[in-house]
Amino acid sequence: MNSSSDQSRPWQQWDFHRAITPKNIFIALVLFVLLSISAHNTEIDIAVVKTSKAILSAIGIGESQVLDGAVRFAGKAFPLQIAQRTEVSRVEDFDPENLPLFAYVEFAENREYDVMTNTWSSETVEFLVEPVGYLTKVLKKMWETVEMGFWGTMISIMISLPLGIAASRNYAPFKWVYSLTRGILSFHRSMPELILALFLVLMFGFGPIAGVLALAIHTSGVLGKFFADEIENAPPGPQLALGSSGAGRLKVLYYAVVPHVLPAWIAYVQYIFERNIRTATVLGIVGAGGIGMELKGRWDLFDYGHVATILLIIFITVVLLEAVSQRIRKKTI
């Protein structure tokens, strides 16, 4: 009903709310047109068409480029590659009497075609085969990625903690300090890790240090904002009570604010740590260390069996990390 005055009239004369009006229809049409333009700009319409074709192709109707690509990858991704096969001539200080554990030497014939003479030539090549050599290599790279996430988070906390306190409206010593620190945190958040990693690789060269610093700079902006917002939202009662007893601002912050915001801070840090490890897996694509470099190299060589091994290890790591994080969260919060 439109108003309470209608209740004084018989119900047959009540004016009910009309959801479908010319104004609402016009607004709906404008929204539909705007959403349609936006969907076309982001190629959502093409994605819907190609996905529909893939579904139809899967049940035997027509052909689909999407389905063909997925089938081609799946066909080459299995079985997973966990063995390392290296030509003996490329192994430094190779000693056939002192092979690595479970490793063995196998012989293979390499055939090459000479276009000039129209003849084939062949030679026997020795290969050192380590049955779990590639899996071991991927695990080491994954551990390096976890370390990148850990140190990126630690440095991020060291940057964001003082900035977060200074960026809280109720504890910033001056208004310009508040504005400046908020601006710094916004700048850090606005810089994507991948772009930062590109610049840092130019400055520090290829390796994990570029990835660590890229993670630290970006996530310090995120953590600093979370820290500042939690301080500003802390209940004022305990702060006023402690302040009225003569305690300074730092003592009020330490005894009345930190105990209240600490559980939320711990949750934020755990989230950022998980996020940093996931992000660190792709920073290697631009040369910033970690398992991403290995993933990019294998992808460029079309070694999809090795790519599948890397993706499986990343998935297992994320699952384990989530399980450990949940256990820690239950004990700390």
Each residue of 38-91: pLDDT tens digit? 999 999 989 999 999 889 988 888 888 888 888 888 888 888 888 888 888 787
What's at 3, amino acid-wise? S
> CA-CA distance, 63 to 57, in Å (whole number)?
5
> CA-CA distance, 283 to 122, in Å (whole number)?
42
Each residue of 8-49: pLDDT tens digit? 777 767 777 777 888 889 999 999 999 999 999 999 989 999
Each residue of 219-257: pLDDT tens digit? 999 999 999 999 999 888 888 888 888 888 888 888 889
Spatial CB neighbours of 187, under 8 Å, sequence gap ≥ 6: 221
Architecture per CATH, domain 134-332, reads as: Orthogonal Bundle (1.10)
> CA-CA distance, 103 to 190, in Å (whole number)?
49
CATH 1.10.3720.10 occupies which residues in the chain?
Answer: 134-332
> CA-CA distance, 304 to 318, in Å (whole number)?
21
CA nearest to 294, candidates 141, 153, 178: 141
